[in-house]
Homo-oligomer: A and B are copies of this chain.
Amino acid sequence: MGHFQTATAVSARREVPGGHEYEAVVDPQWTVGGKPHGGYLLAILGRAAIVSGGADHPHLTAVSGSFLRSPSPGPAAVHVETLRAGRTMTHARARLTQDGRPCVEALITLGTLTEDDPWWSDAEPAALPDEQDCFLTPPEAPGAGFPVALMEVVEQRLDPAGLAFALGTPSRAGVTAGWQRLADGSDWDPLSLLVALDPVPPVSYDLGLPGWAPTVQFSAYVRRLPAPGPLRVRMRALDVTGGLMDEVAHAWDGKGRLVAQATQLAAVRVPPTG
């Protein structure tokens, strides 16, 4: 249990009006406080889109998801509609439902990624202490108030610079960063990168706002096939207004190249002012 490939598998393809429908099982291991991780759910949708229409374009290159309601671990259905199959990319939309209710709706672009170096880049990898000098995030983080089962399948070591919140003195810089590996030793791929791009804890902890920050909307681009080795992931917030926070994440592979980027809007609870 817990292996990413298995946890995101889809089966039993069925033709339905406007596309294909698949069965999936939302895995209790890929959860935060008992709720399925957003990047993990999008990876299930991405897997279904590839099975449905990825014959010519085998890699997820872009995904945007709206999070409508959190599904529970257990059986779910995934509906995929191909919007356009072009020469260099395929566009699809996908929906995860549980008990007939839509939980996640996504737009997915498939293409063909390589390990090639960029033609041009201004994406310097995040400066981090060595992996062994960073803080291994436990599944039962002190002060989190809930178990993060995800931390048993993702081995995350956070830069201590962004962890002052754990001592009650958040830096309020709005940045968290760290190293990530899949705990079973498998390499990162375009689908598992979606998990890496939404790390725990949210940046709001660093702003002195502890607690669950559910994703409202999440968009990611995968730029190349990652080289083996740990990822560096940095997440930064820019603005918290009206109970919503943006978080922008970048991930670099073992060769220090940008492999993926994401932007999300998450709900946060801010203390009343005045």
> Is A132 interfacial (CB 8 A cutoff)?
no
A116 to B113 alpha-carbon distance, docked (Å) = 43
A265 to B64 alpha-carbon distance, docked (Å) = 12
A89 to B238 alpha-carbon distance, docked (Å) = 21
A174 touches B120 (CB 8 A): yes
Q: What residue in chain B is nearest A91 (Cβ atoms)?
A: B66
Tell me which of A65, A88, A267, A270 has the highest count of chain B C-beta atoms within 10 A of its own C-beta. Answer: A88
Q: What residue in chain B is nearest A123 (Cβ atoms)?
A: B238
* Complex interface: chain B residues within 8 A of A246 (CB): 221, 223, 261
A109 touches B241 (CB 8 A): no
> Is A68 interfacial (CB 8 A cutoff)?
yes
Measured as residues with beta carbon below 8 angstroms from the partner, the interface class of chain A is 35 or more
Q: What residue in chain B is nearest A267 (Cβ atoms)?
A: B88
B107 touches A84 (CB 8 A): no
A89 to B273 alpha-carbon distance, docked (Å) = 22
A214 to chain B, nearest CB (A): 12
Of the candidates B119, B239, B265, B267, the one whose C-beta lies within 8 Å of that of A120 is: B239
A116 touches B221 (CB 8 A): no
* Complex interface: chain B residues within 8 A of A242 (CB): 111-114, 116, 223-224
* Complex interface: chain B residues within 8 A of A117 (CB): 241
Q: What residue in chain B is nearest A64 (Cβ atoms)?
A: B64
A263 to B119 alpha-carbon distance, docked (Å) = 20
A109 touches B64 (CB 8 A): no
> Is A176 interfacial (CB 8 A cutoff)?
no
> Is A194 interfacial (CB 8 A cutoff)?
no
Of the candidates B61, B118, B238, B270, the one whose C-beta lies within 8 Å of that of A121 is: B238
> Is A9 interfacial (CB 8 A cutoff)?
no
A263 touches B219 (CB 8 A): yes
**Chain A 115-144 interface 0/1 with B at a Cβ cutoff of 8 Å (1 = within):** 011111111000000000000000000000
A116 to B241 alpha-carbon distance, docked (Å) = 8
**Chain A 215-238 interface 0/1 with B at a Cβ cutoff of 8 Å (1 = within):** 011010101100000000000111
Q: Known A239-B123, A265-B221; judge A83-B109 contact (CB<8 A).
A: no
Query: Could you list 11 further interchain pairs (A-B, Cβ under 8 angstroms) beyond the known A66-B107, A119-B240, A123-B239?
Result: A62-B66, A62-B265, A64-B64, A66-B109, A68-B83, A83-B105, A112-B242, A114-B242, A118-B239, A121-B240, A217-B221
